[in-house]
Structures are given as C-alpha cells and as structure tokens.
Structure 1
C-alpha cells in the first residue's frame, strides 16, 4: 500500500464547498471524512508536529514562538514509515518546516529550499500549488510503489498573493484604494497584516482580502484535482491511501475587531492568536482504495493521524475506531497569553487563559461560530481544562533550531519574525 499526504497550510474548515472547491469537496465525499476534527494548535509548527508524532504541543515541545526543533528522542511518522521500507519524500511548501526544525527526519528526499525562489521583483516567492502539483505527479510516476509522499501546500497563507485568475470578485468593479490596488499587483507584502498592524480596512476591503485568501484556496483545489486525476489515470488510486488535512485555519474578523490592540487576541485576522474554531477546526479525510466514502461526525483530534498510520491497516473500521475521541484539546503560545481549550463529547468547548484564570465556554452544536458564551460552566469542565493545563506547559528544554539567513528571510515574509 502507498501513502500520499496532501496538507494545506491555513485552510479553514468552512472554506471548503461544493462549488468553490469542487476537487477538495469531491475528495472528501469519497473518503472517510471527519467533520469534527480539531488541530492541537492554531499555528504551523506545533500543529504539524502533533499530527506527525501523536503528541500534544506541550509534550513534543515545539511552540513556534521560540524556534524550537523536533527532539530526536520523539517518534516521528516519516521515520516509522522509512523503517517499514517505504520510499519517503516530502515536497514542503512552508519554510517554517525547513530542515532547521528537523521536520526532514526520516525522509529520503526533503524538498523545501529547492522549491523556493525569488520573484521577478526581487521579493520572496514561495512554492506555488502548481509547482507542488507538478513535482508530486512526477514523483508518483518515478516511485510507482511502496511510497510515502507528503505534499504541503501554502497558497492560502498570507500574504494572500495568488493570481487574480483564482479570485471570485471582479476587481475592475471594486472601488478599493489606490494603495490596495498597487499592493495587489506589486507589493503582496502589504497583505501580511502581522507586519502592518496599523492598516485600517473598510468592509469592502475586508471582503477583498478574504477573496485573496480564497484565491489561494481555489488555487490549491485545482492542484488537488490534478493530482487525484493523475492517480486515477496511472492506476495508482486502488493502491494508495490519500490523507487530506490542514494544520490550522485563519481568522477574518470572526471574533476580534481591533487592529491596533496591544493584545493580538483582539486583532481579528491571521492565526496563532486564539483557539476559536476558525483557527483549529480543520478537515481530515482518508481516501481508501475501493471505498465509497463515509462521513463521521464524532469528535477527533488531528494528532490521531499518527496512530492511524502506525497502528492500523487503514481500513475504514480501524481508522474510525482509532480516530474517535471523547475529548479534544488544543493549546498555543505564539501571540499573547498562553491558552488551552477542551471540547467534550457533547461538543461543549471551554477556553482557559492560564495567565488570568478566566474560562469561557460555548455549545458548538447550537453555536458553532462561538458567538454566545455560556452563562454557567459545569465544574467538571473547569476541572478538565485545568487538569490538562497541569499536565504540561511550554517549559520543556527543547533544542533550539539553527536558522539560516535565508530561512529567517522567509519566516519574516510569512510574518513570524518582526
């Protein structure tokens, strides 16, 4: 059996639909898909580390804020697959997962820096969905059998610079500002709102910005379609398990609305600053050979991916059994105070600020957008989130990543360094 992991950086669960992302939608419909999957962190490094180790962020120690590297003693999915005789290759679109952070462990080939290039105007250009798609299809032809391929797309990530062809709005009819117009063509770094916190956008400009985000999503959707068609045409689909997932989502003023707030929690756009659903509710699906697909509404943690691929033969019953959970936890320490979240089997969600001790709760069945806080919180829920907090924090002595000047430049372009 072959394994193909297709992941999308910064993909909101609700960005997927039948008409805007037909290829991803079709892939999910033909898969064992989990509709209530939650990432263990709202930012890339700790989230992917959890998915590929099966551990919570405070257990593997990668918190992104300190540029920590994956500890050698922790079991890592690509290494497990290599030990089992698979040819392991990664096409990495996100510079955060450069060799510096040790995500290359276990891979025979790990392409990251090789995929990055300079843009025509001298700025940074990250690997496009088209590039990842071309390389993935080429690898499928070359390897043909016994492969473990991870292709990670970054197009939805800021600075939201996908070509206008993929946009949903008629740009010629939009009365956006000259600065915005100039930025859309020549200065994509304008859209890196982490570095431009004082920019105030009108409601129309906010919609335009979201359309730029969706342009990246639609760009990935086309690439996913190309890869799936290639699998089918090369007779590999019946011999390959395709796993589709995202590391985290992206906020577009779902909760925060104060761009100038000193507390990143209230700035309203970006990721890594809250544990609300727009940032941690993610897609997770397993496309199995000769399986018509099944939708599972049970609660699932993204970190279950590690156990599924290391402990099961990837049939639907085993996948569902191993994946289903009575609870889901998430945590982060990228911007602002450290927070923890806990969701129980009834989809009651609590968010705990470990600095000031405040707890908020939501009923996700009735209020999936987390607009109305519950007036009262059961003591058992409070105890559970505090128990998780006591289990560990980001105080582990984790190896610091050695970052090159080139990687530092890419991280700055993505907004993770000032």
Structure 2
C-alpha cells in the first residue's frame, strides 16, 4: 500500500502535486472534482492541482515539455513526494516523467488500485485487489524498479539488474497464477450459492450505482444490516448479501456491491469478476443515483457503461434517485413508464423519506408466490 493516512492530527505521510489535463472533455470540471476527492480520500496532502489544455497526449511525457518544467519547479519548491495524474500513462511515459521530475509518478489506474487496497476488508477482496495490482505491475515492471531507491523505506541505493528483473517477473507470474486459482475456488462457491437461491426460487436484487451514491445507507435501511457507511469514494468493496422480507411479496436477497466510477481500470473489472457476477445474474438492479449531483446524467451513463462491460446491460433496472434531502423542494415519489410499471423512485436513504415507496415498487416487481421449501430457503442464504 502506497498511501497511509496519519491519525491524531500528526500530519500527512505523503504530499502530492495533482495533474489533470483538459483534452476538451465535456465533463472536465466534474472529472477534476472527482480526482481531487479520490486523492483526498487517501489521506494524502494535496500541494496544488495543475491543469492545461492539449489536443492529444505527448508521446514522451504525456504533457508538453513546458508543463514538465512547471511541475519540476513545484516538486523542488514543495519537496513533494508524488506527482499524480488523472490519466492513464504508458510505462515509458511514467519512466520519462520520473527521470525528469526526480520523484514518484502515479497514474489514475495506480491511484484507484491503491485506494482499493486500502478499502478491502474480506479475504476475497484482498485477493482480488492484489491480483489487479500484480497484473498492472507486470505490464510495467521495468519502469517500476527505476524509483524504488527513492521511495520511503526503499531497498537501498543500488538498483537491481536484469537478472533481478527476470526473477521478479517469474515470482509475479507465479503469484498471479496462485491468486487466480484461489479466486476460482471462491467463484465456484458463489456459483453454488446462486444455484441454491435459484433452486429455492429466491430472486436476487442487486444495488448498483456510482461510488458514493448512497448504496450502503439504502442497504442498511432496507435490511437492518450494519454495513460500513462512509462519505467517501469506494467505502464498500466487499459484497454483502442479506434477506429482504416485504409484506405481500416473496422472499428476496439484496446484494450490496462495489460502486462504479468512470474509466474503471480493466484489471479491477477482471479481478472482481466473481463479485460482479452477483450483479450480472440478478433478477433486478436497483440503480442508485445521487439526485443532488449536477452531473448525474453523465454518472448514469458511466454506470451503464460498466454494466455493459460485465454483461449486465440486459438486467432490468429500477432507478432510485437518492439524497432528495439535499435537493430543495424535492419530494418522494414514484414514476411509472407508459405501461404503468414503476421505473423510478425518489427517496432519501438518510432520512427514510420515500422508503415505503421503494418497498411498494419491489412488491410490484416480485408479487407473492407459493411458499418454498423452508430448508431450501435456509440453504439459499448461506
């Protein structure tokens, strides 16, 4: 883990200069605000945020030579430990930037991987994050060694030679294979659980949405669970399943899952495959949306893009517009489509306003059926 949040007001372990270049994206300001929030959530000290405009990335440095010189002045003046880019850099670009700036350079994928490393709590979650980190590292191992002697707690002043790199490639490859075998066993266990729920005719309703949309708060409200709720990105990584009983409806399983984010790293999507299959195989998705976000339309599109990536684009959705307590004049309500089916619910998971409307919508989606074998139902929740 690269970042470490200091407690008790003792200050920060690392300081960083952030870089976000405008390539004429429509959501540039929203992306920059999200980037700042991502870095802030690690407990790192942000020295400054540098921006600029380009038509396309520079092949050698991603940014222009003048911007490299500007960053170097900031690094020297502030003695910054890191330069973090809100973009994906190639291995050669990272290497060239580190040589010019004489400090560690981190790109967006590495930032998100490290945040996931901080937040993973379960054994499965830790395995998934480690696999994603090693897969990413394996693509840029030569670059990776160029800065180790300059890291805090590094390995010394002498960099490893080619023989050491070959050894590390082999060790990383072996570890990746071990992790994949372990996660395959976890996947089979999840498959068995899903088959048991299917046999017991217990549908799964999966909460999805952009990170920090309020999924865990809503999950706790509906199930009386005590899932961690934290006002920061990626507070929930480990999936949680609870039974959900509603009056005049069949038993349901409610699944709380990891929040999505734009440009979610491919290695993370692959590593979290077994977790995301809970979403793909659900009977209904509750797409939780932050009603107070000005850029919510873009966030909805980003979530749907990830759902398409994992093969869940065909699963029925019920949009849940959360946090109406933050929107002046917004009242809880149901919205129906042309066929009369509920397709949108407005509520506040924090205050509880509108929760009964959501329960009503779920009861309409899953009306009461004949009772199932109690033994089958008990096994389905295991």
Normalised by the length of structure 1, the TM-score is 0.25
- Report 1 or 2 for greater relative contact order, CA contacts < 8 Å, sequence distance ≥ 6: 1
Larger radius of gyration: 2
User: Greater helix share, 1 or 2?
Assistant: 2
